């Protein structure tokens, strides 16, 4: 049995960006930047005023305060070409307006007395006061956003400020999802009411997690525990996919047919067991796709809901991020303390479903009651997973642990 870290290293080995495309700026949030965005202009683009007030040339303030300067009839407003500053004069200026040629300082209007066409300055200002200098934020040639950055709203604002209407981003990995099991029925359908049926819940949840990780999911209808039918469904799902997620049927029971079906289709399986809880029967492999093309990767998830969603969060999401060239494919772990005790038998790294909340200066992770791998309630109510090391025994409340927030998957 592989350790958690060994298995994840194999899943991520040789996972590089699949390709790129250009998208409109408004569609780029959540996408991974494929090439560095280099500033081709300064920000701010010109010397401008950070305040409403008066622009002047500091050297025109001779002697001791108060200083008196005539104010010209022309003012500097945002969005207009700046006027020239006459010798020995001040210019009315407004926030965001370009500094008049020759001016080097702005005095905010609250510090100026105005008498007709004369401005009276009570004190000598600092040279450059309230001036946003051209390029003080970023200069031409500097990297504005590094390649591999997953773009958020602030990145889009920066790109727009640099006058970019579109960006080169990584192509979304195509992810096929096939859930298996004779018991499965589409939720809300008459078939879900038959004796022994279970509404299929993993597919919709995995599709949501795939989208969250930047992939493009394609959810196939559930397939029963029949080798021929499973092989046919998986063969169709492999076509056009970058990653195939199977759910259920990867263990060694009499009706677990996913692994033999994958082998029949030419998928080379790397491993099928990991020392984690939940999610021990996890399968990973790949099928070649031709010269120069990346292989179709296959992740066989356990069928129990907690196991399926947890193993995808731990292995599938980082893989999808790596396939987009994400510079940080692994989700961040946060330090917390257990809000309740956890019973644990050494031997497997356990991911406990918890409710993470702040109490004073610290985060506390409170375990939910039902930690069974088939429990959907604890997956629905949890907002994080707490990591219990494989060598640990029972942990008391207050024990420090690392936690993975579902929102960071």
Question: Which tens digits make up the pLDDT trace of 110-148?
Answer: 999 999 999 999 999 999 999 999 999 999 999 999 999
Q: Which fold has domain 4-19+172-322?
A: Molybdenum Cofactor Biosythetic Enzyme; Chain A (3.40.980)
**Is the pTM here over 0.85, yes or no?**
yes
- What is the token pair recorded at 249? 């049927």
User: pLDDT tens digits for 196-239?
Assistant: 899 999 999 999 999 999 999 999 999 999 999 999 999 999 99
Mean pLDDT of 370-398: 95
Q: What are residue 196's phi and psi, to 5 degrees?
A: 85, -5
Tell me how far apart the alpha carbons of residues 297 and 320 are, in angstroms, rounded to a whole number.
Answer: 10
- What pLDDT is attached to residue 161? 97
User: pLDDT tens digits for 167-208?
Assistant: 999 999 999 999 999 999 888 888 888 888 999 999 999 999
Tell me how far apart the alpha carbons of residues 315 and 213 are, in angstroms, rounded to a whole number.
Answer: 11
Collapse the DSSP code of 362 into the 3-class scheme (helix H, G, I; strand E, B; otherwise coil) and give the result.
strand
Tell me how far apart the alpha carbons of residues 313 and 101 are, in angstroms, rounded to a whole number.
Answer: 57
Of 373, 318, 383, 316, residue with least CA distance to 350: 373
Of 9, 18, 379, 361, residue with least CA distance to 202: 379
Mean pLDDT of 248-259: 83
Tell me how far apart the alpha carbons of residues 162 and 31 are, in angstroms, rounded to a whole number.
Answer: 18
Tell me how far apart the alpha carbons of residues 307 and 311 are, in angstroms, rounded to a whole number.
Answer: 6
Residue owning tokens 């049927």: 249
- What pLDDT is attached to residue 229? 96
Q: Of 135-144, 265-274, 290-299, which range is least confident?
A: 290-299
Q: What mean pLDDT, rounded, does the chain reach? A: 95
Q: Per the omega criterion (within 30 degrees of 0), is the bond before 66 cis?
A: yes
Q: Is beta strand 296-301 parallel, antiparallel or unpaired with respect to 384-388?
A: unpaired
Tell me how far apart the alpha carbons of residues 220 and 241 are, in angstroms, rounded to a whole number.
Answer: 12
- Asked if the 48-132 domain carries CATH number 3.40.50.720, the reply is no
Q: Which CATH number fits domain 21-40+147-170: 3.90.105.10, 3.30.360.10, 3.40.50.300, 3.30.200.20?
A: 3.90.105.10
Query: Given a cut of 80, is residue 333 above it in pLDDT?
Result: yes
Confidence of residue 251 (pLDDT cuts 50, 70, 90): confident
CATH number of 334-408: 2.40.340.10
Instruction: Show me where the domains of the chain are located.
Output: 4-19+172-322, 21-40+147-170, 48-132, 334-408
Name the DSSP class of 87.
T
Query: Given a cut of 80, is residue 390 above it in pLDDT?
Result: yes
Collapse the DSSP code of 213 into the 3-class scheme (helix H, G, I; strand E, B; otherwise coil) and give the result.
coil
Mean pLDDT of 97-102: 95
């Amino acid at each position: 049995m592989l350790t958690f870290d060994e298995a994840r290293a194999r899943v991520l080995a040789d996972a590089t960006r699949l390709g790129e495309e250009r998208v409109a700026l408004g569609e780029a949030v959540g996408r991974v930047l494929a090439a560095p965005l280099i500033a081709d202009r300064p920000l701010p683009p010109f010397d401008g005023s950070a305040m409403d007030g008066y622009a002047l040339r500091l050297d025109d303030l001779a002697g001791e305060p108060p200083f008196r300067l005539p104010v010209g009839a022309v003012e500097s407003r945002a969005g207009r070409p700046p006027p020239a500053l006459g010798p020995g004069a001040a210019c009315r200026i407004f926030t965001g307006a370009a500094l008049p040629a020759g001016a080097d300082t702005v005095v905010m209007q609250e510090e100026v007395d105005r008498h007709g066409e004369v401005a009276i300055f009570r004190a000598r200002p600092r040279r450059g006061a309230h001036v946003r200098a051209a390029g003080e934020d970023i200069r031409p040639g500097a990297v504005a956003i590094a390649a591999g950055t997953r773009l958020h709203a602030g990145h889009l604002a920066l790109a727009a400020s640099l006058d970019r209407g579109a960006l080169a981003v990584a192509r979304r990995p195509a992810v096929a999802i096939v859930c298996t099991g004779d018991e499965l029925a589409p939720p809300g359908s008459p078939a879900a009411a038959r004796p022994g049926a279970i509404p299929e819940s993993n597919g919709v949840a995995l599709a949501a997690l795939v989208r969250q990780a930047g992939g493009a999911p394609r959810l196939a209808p559930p397939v029963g525990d029949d080798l021929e039918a499973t092989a046919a469904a998986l063969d169709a799902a492999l076509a056009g996919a970058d990653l195939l997620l199977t759910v259920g049927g990867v263990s060694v029971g009499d009706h677990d047919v996913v692994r033999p079906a994958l082998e029949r289709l030419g998928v080379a399986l790397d491993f099928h067991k990991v020392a984690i809880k939940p999610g021990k029967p996890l399968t990973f492999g790949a099928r070649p796709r031709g010269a120069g093309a990346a292989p179709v990767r296959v992740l066989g998830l356990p069928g129990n809901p907690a196991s399926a969603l947890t193993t995808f969060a731990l292995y599938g999401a980082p893989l999808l991020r790596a396939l987009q060239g994400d510079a940080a494919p692994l989700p961040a772990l946060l330090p917390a303390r257990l809000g309740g005790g956890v019973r644990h038998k050494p031997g497997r790294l356990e991911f406990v479903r918890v409710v993470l909340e702040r109490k004073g200066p610290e985060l506390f992770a409170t375990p939910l009651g039902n930690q069974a791998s088939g429990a959907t309630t604890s997956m629905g109510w949890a907002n994080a997973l707490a990591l219990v090391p494989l060598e640990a025994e029972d942990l008391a409340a207050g024990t420090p642990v690392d936690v993975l927030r579902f929102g960071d998957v």
